[in-house]
Amino acid sequence: MEQRLGVVMNGVTGRMGYRQHLLRSVLAIREQGGVELSDGSRVQLDPLLVGRSEDKVREIATRHGLTRWTTDVDAALADDDYPLYFDAQITSARERSILAAIAAGRHVYTEKPTAETLEGALDLARAAARAGVKNGVVHDKLFLPGLLKLKRLVDSGFFGEVLSVRGEFGYWVFEGDWQSAQRPSWNYRAEDGGGIVADMFCHWNYVLEQIVAPVEAVTAKAVTHVPVRHDERGEAYKATADDAAYAIFELEGGIVAQLNSSWAVRVDRDELVEFQVDGTLGSAVAGLHGCRVQPRVATPRAVWNPDLPEQHRYRDDWLAVPDNEVHDNGFKVQWEQFVRHVVEDAPHPYDFASGARGVRLAQAGLESSAQGRRVELAELPL
């Protein structure tokens, strides 16, 4: 037996909305015959595409044989055949649309950050609770094969007592003058909700919270290394948002995490993001796909001697964690998870409260940078 679930998808003309959510998630789910529920039945998704550009949204719908599309989000929200609303718009437009969806009685699944401010994120969580609608926030990094392996190591007790986390994320985003940028220009305009702190600290919050321990305090420095960039039309504009952030996160249990995030760094590592976790019984380095470990009993003796060239190949002392299972696309897995939450009330901890905690960390990071001090995270008044 197959059910149908109508979903309004707002923001599908953007990079993330189209590639990860429509193409690799919703359409892939349709191709596989829907989302399988606990009783063996299936739920098929029926998307209604929404975008600001009529030409773009029509072209996408035509390309994929979809018949329902519009530029009128209010009309889409008024259609009772579509009880689920998804938002992948620019951050500055998200809060208003989600509140409208909640007012229309729609369940909501959204990209992060959920709002530009902590108070806005809290308003969304409270509004959803009052309306009794299901709500979820994208948490894709947890489904990276490398981080799934890292989580398995933590859960197994491999590290003993976890001491610290070191993270490096980023790559050089072209300025857009002589070579087109890999990210949209709004990412570098604070007035449009851009900035690497607003973007990545929401990720780091749930990664640290779910894999290692919750964040209790932050000391951060956010900077704009590249002050002038060129937009999609090739026109120069002033970058008003931060493109790099250097942070120390204090985690529950005395664990210290140091994470660098940058769109102005050239890559000299195996993957675009890497986390090193050190513990009393062993260490691990995890990226998007790979994960390497070094247990205490196999740790080489390192001796500091600047007078002689180093002969030891320390990277050879690490052991790769094997790929013991095949992992599906993380965005698609999240969609299936949330659909089960909507249809059969399956567990889904990544709700608007989780999204608000991510916004809280981003806001605290910017506050720390602006004031040059350590900021403790206050309890959320939900």
Backbone phi and psi for residue 100, each to the nearest 5 degrees, phi listed first:
-65, -40
Q: Give the model's confidence band at 23: pLDDT under 50 very low, under 70 low, under 90 confident, else very high.
A: very high
The candidate with the shortest Cα–Cα distance to 214, out of 54, 358, 13, 6, is 358
Mean pLDDT over the full length of the chain: 96
Provide mean pLDDT across the span 290-297. 98
Does 156 lie in the same domain as 99?
A: no
Contact call for residues 140 and 206 (beta carbons, < 8 A): no
d(CA 33, CA 43): 8
Structural domain range at position 42: 2-137+330-349
Contact call for residues 218 and 377 (beta carbons, < 8 A): yes
CATH number where 285 lies: 3.30.360.10
Contact call for residues 127 and 105 (beta carbons, < 8 A): no
Give CA angle at 360 (97, 251), nearest 5°: 145
pLDDT of 181 above 90: yes
Residue 2 has a pLDDT of 79
Across 262-295, b (16+ Cβ under 10 Å) vs e yields bbbbeeeeebebbbbbbbeebbbbbbbebbbbbe
Provide mean pLDDT across the span 132-143. 97
Does 270 lie in the same domain as 281?
A: yes
Contact call for residues 345 and 354 (beta carbons, < 8 A): no
Q: How far is CA 7 from CA 132, 156, 234, in A?
A: 18, 38, 35
Does 216 lie in the same domain as 160?
A: yes
Residue 125 has a pLDDT of 98
In the chain, which residue ranges form alpha helices assigned H by DSSP? 15-16, 27-31, 54-63, 73-77, 91-103, 118-131, 145-156, 196-207, 330-344, 352-371
- Other beta carbons within 10 Å of 213: 19
Does 191 lie in the same domain as 164?
A: yes
Provide mean pLDDT across the span 176-196. 95
In the chain, the number of structural domains is 2
Residue 382 has a pLDDT of 86
Does 189 lie in the same domain as 145?
A: yes
In a domain, 364, yes or no: no
Measured N-to-C along each axis, helices 91-103 and 118-131 cross at an angle, to the nearest 10 degrees, of 20
In a domain, 358, yes or no: no
CATH number where 93 lies: 3.40.50.720
**Length of the chain in terms of residues written:** 382
What percent of the chain is predicted at pLDDT more than 90? 96
Exposed, middle or buried: residue 155 (CB in 10 Å: 0-12, 13-18, 19+)? exposed
Contact call for residues 5 and 83 (beta carbons, < 8 A): yes
Does 212 lie in the same domain as 157?
A: yes
In a domain, 274, yes or no: yes
Q: How far is CA 146 from CA 196, 294, 318, 336, 349, in A?
A: 22, 15, 15, 21, 21
Segment 65-109, tens digit of pLDDT: 999 999 999 999 999 999 999 999 999 999 999 999 999 999 999
Exposed, middle or buried: residue 161 (CB in 10 Å: 0-12, 13-18, 19+)? exposed
Segment 28-79, tens digit of pLDDT: 999 999 999 999 999 999 999 999 999 999 999 999 999 999 999 999 999 9
Instruction: Map tokens 């059969």 to a residue.
Output: 344
Does 231 lie in the same domain as 307?
A: yes
What SS3 state is found at 45?
strand
Query: What type of residue is 286?
Result: A
Does 89 lie in the same domain as 223?
A: no
Does 266 lie in the same domain as 312?
A: yes
In a domain, 365, yes or no: no
What SS3 state is found at 284?
strand
If one compares 193 and 220, the residue with the highest pLDDT of the two is 220
Does 146 lie in the same domain as 127?
A: no
In a domain, 38, yes or no: yes
Residue 1 has a pLDDT of 63
Does 198 lie in the same domain as 97?
A: no
What percent of the chain is predicted at pLDDT more than 70? 100
